[in-house]
Every structure is written in C-alpha cells, then in structure tokens.
C-alpha cells in the first residue's frame, strides 16, 4: 500500500473529480499488470451509506482515472472492470481509492475517503474499505470492496 507520496497533491481525482486524495490517512493499494497481462476486477458493497471506488492507471508518472464504480445507479454501478492488456515493456500500476457520502445519495453531500484494508476472498484477492473505521482489529472492510485477478 502506498503511503506519503505526493503524486496527488493539489489535484482533483475522487468521484465526480471533486476531491484530492489523502494517501497518508487512508492508504492506497496498488495493483500491477505485468507485461502481457491484464487485471480483471469485480466489486461488492455492503453499507448503509453511498459508496464509490476509483481506479487510476499510472504510466510514466502520469495518473489517469480509468474506472469509477459505486452504489448509486445510474450515476455509478458495480459492474466488472477489465484493464487493457499491458502491451508495454514496463509493469503498469493501478491505484485504488474508496469513498463514501454520509447518508443516502445526494449531489449536495461531499465525498469522504474510506480507509483501505486487505481482505481475502478466494479465488480473488481483495482490497476492502471502511467508511467509518473504529478498530483495525474488528473492522471488516466490507463497505466497498475490489476483488481482482491478473489474467
């Protein structure tokens, strides 16, 4: 998980492009597609409040949002996302962020970043997130979750 980098400082990268990213507080999982590989990602959510996830590709230090998923249809959905096959000679990194609104969907409510945590759910590996973390030992990080495979 990435901590303390300043790639995102001063930039707007969250859902609806309205937020900066707080890496130090929330952590930032990195998924990597090696040469000739692609990522297959699916999403689950289990929370009372609206949830979203954003995926960013990082190529030569440039970040691009490549997917935005979430629980509020039709604005967002939890459909699978598959990266392109990495046809470059370098590994391609994808950064993951998770977000929530405090309550039901409303354009007037701000987005807050979720804290990320590692969970497992075979056959996928997963990164989960919690909108209101209270205890790292008991939080289940199931509020919105990305499950991924490299193919």
Positions in the binding site for Ca ion (CB under 5 A):
140, 142-143
Q: For Ca ion, which is the closer residue by CB, 17 or 140?
A: 140
Closest Cα partner for 19 from 61, 65, 58? 65
Residue 132 CB, nearest approach to Ca ion (Å):
8
Residue 106 CB, nearest approach to Ca ion (Å):
21
Q: For Ca ion, which is the closer residue by CB, 17 or 48?
A: 48
Which bin fits 141, alpha (ψ -120 to 50), beta or left (φ > 0)?
A: left
Q: Do the beta carbons of residue 65 and residue 55 sit within 8 Å?
A: yes
Whole-number Å distance between alpha carbons of 70 and 66? 14
Residue 142 CB, nearest approach to Ca ion (Å):
5
Whole-number Å distance between alpha carbons of 126 and 141? 10
Q: For Ca ion, which is the closer residue by CB, 108 or 135?
A: 135
Residue 135 CB, nearest approach to Ca ion (Å):
11
Residue 70 structure tokens: 């979430």
Q: For Ca ion, which is the closer residue by CB, 80 or 140?
A: 140
């Amino acid at each position: 998980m990435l901590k303390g980098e300043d790639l995102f400082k001063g930039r707007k990268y969250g859902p609806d492009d309205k937020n900066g990213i707080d890496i130090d507080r929330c952590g930032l999982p990195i998924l990597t597609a090696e040469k000739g590989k692609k990522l297959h990602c699916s999403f689950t959510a289990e929370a009372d409040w609206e949830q979203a996830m954003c995926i960013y590709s990082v190529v030569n230090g440039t970040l691009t949002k490549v997917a935005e998923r979430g629980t509020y249809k039709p604005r967002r959905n939890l459909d699978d996302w598959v990266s392109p096959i990495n046809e470059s000679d370098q590994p391609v990194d994808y950064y993951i962020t998770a977000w929530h609104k405090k309550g039901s969907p409303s354009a007037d409510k701000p987005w807050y970043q979720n804290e990320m945590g590692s969970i497992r759910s075979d056959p996928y590996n997963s990164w989960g997130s919690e909108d209101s973390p209270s205890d790292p030992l008991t939080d289940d990080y199931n509020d919105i979750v990305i499950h991924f495979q490299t193919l």
